[in-house]
Amino acid sequence: MAKNKSLKSKPPKRKNLCAAEDSGEIMDSKVNAKRKKVDVDILEPPSCPEGTAELEGLEDLSPEEKRVLERKLKKVRKKEEKKRLKEEGVTLQKTNPPGPSAEQQALDYLTCWAENRSQWKFQKTRQTWLLQHIFDSEKIPDEKYSVLLQYLEGLRGSGRDTTVQKALSLVEESGKAPEDIVVQQRAHRAREVIQLLS
């Protein structure tokens, strides 16, 4: 008859608290308990002058634990400050560091392609931006447009097909609005692109 292992289940072994390998776990639990006590002391100071509550209890901690606690405290302060400002009705404006716009990056990409091929590297996002705005004379000025036409000669695949289809639809649209100057400018560029890519 086969032995059923589930009937002979052994109780889990107890850890020997005196063993040398488990002493690290005991130390970790003591440190965690101390850390929790210090967290509570720091986050809820018992009416101490400002700045002194942060220093109490930190002398027993390692430098890493101090950094962790300082980060937590900084988060809490920031959250409280944000809450206080919200209650006062003041809104914070997030400022993004000024950087080159997508338009400028795409035009720089095109210039690099024309003037310095050894430094030029293909970037799909820049090419996509150029193809999306190829017919817009405000975003791509005429002096850059001639360079863009040269760039389009090497265009292959679905980008080429999509650009031709977009150009054809713009030419059709220009027939419906012959008096609109902007539409006619776009249609003129579209005809040039169709002639180049077809």
Query: Given this model, what pLDDT does residue 122 score?
Result: 94
> What is the average pLDDT across 177-195?
90
Higher pLDDT, 51 or 169: 169
Q: Does residue 101 carry a pLDDT above 60?
A: yes
Distances (CA, A) of 106 to 77, 127, 130: 41, 7, 7
Query: Given this model, what pLDDT does residue 50 score?
Result: 47
Confidence of residue 182 (pLDDT cuts 50, 70, 90): confident
pLDDT digits (tens, 9 = 90+) for 109-146: 999 999 999 999 999 999 999 999 999 999 999 999 99
Query: Given this model, what pLDDT does residue 47 score?
Result: 45
Of the candidates 187, 194, 152, the one whose C-alpha atom is nearest the C-alpha of residue 170 is 187
**What's the angle, vertex CA 160, arms to CA 191 and CA 110, rounded to 5?**
85
Query: Given this model, what pLDDT does residue 49 score?
Result: 44
- Whole-angstrom distance, CA of residue 38 vs CA of residue 10: 41
DSSP count for the chain of H helices, then E strands: 8, 0
Query: Given this model, what pLDDT does residue 111 score?
Result: 95
Q: Which residue has the tokens 């292959």?
A: 156
Higher pLDDT, 48 or 146: 146
3-state SS assignment for residue 17: coil
Of the candidates 139, 147, 81, 146, the one whose C-alpha atom is nearest the C-alpha of residue 113 is 147
pLDDT digits (tens, 9 = 90+) for 147-156: 999 999 999 9
Question: CB atoms < 10 A from the CB of 28, how many?
Answer: 10
DSSP state of 141: -
> What is the average pLDDT across 94-114?
87
Strands (E), 13-167: none
Domain boundaries, the chain: 23-88, 102-197
Confidence of residue 98 (pLDDT cuts 50, 70, 90): confident
Confidence of residue 56 (pLDDT cuts 50, 70, 90): low
Of the candidates 145, 122, 132, 137, the one whose C-alpha atom is nearest the C-alpha of residue 102 is 132
Confidence of residue 35 (pLDDT cuts 50, 70, 90): low
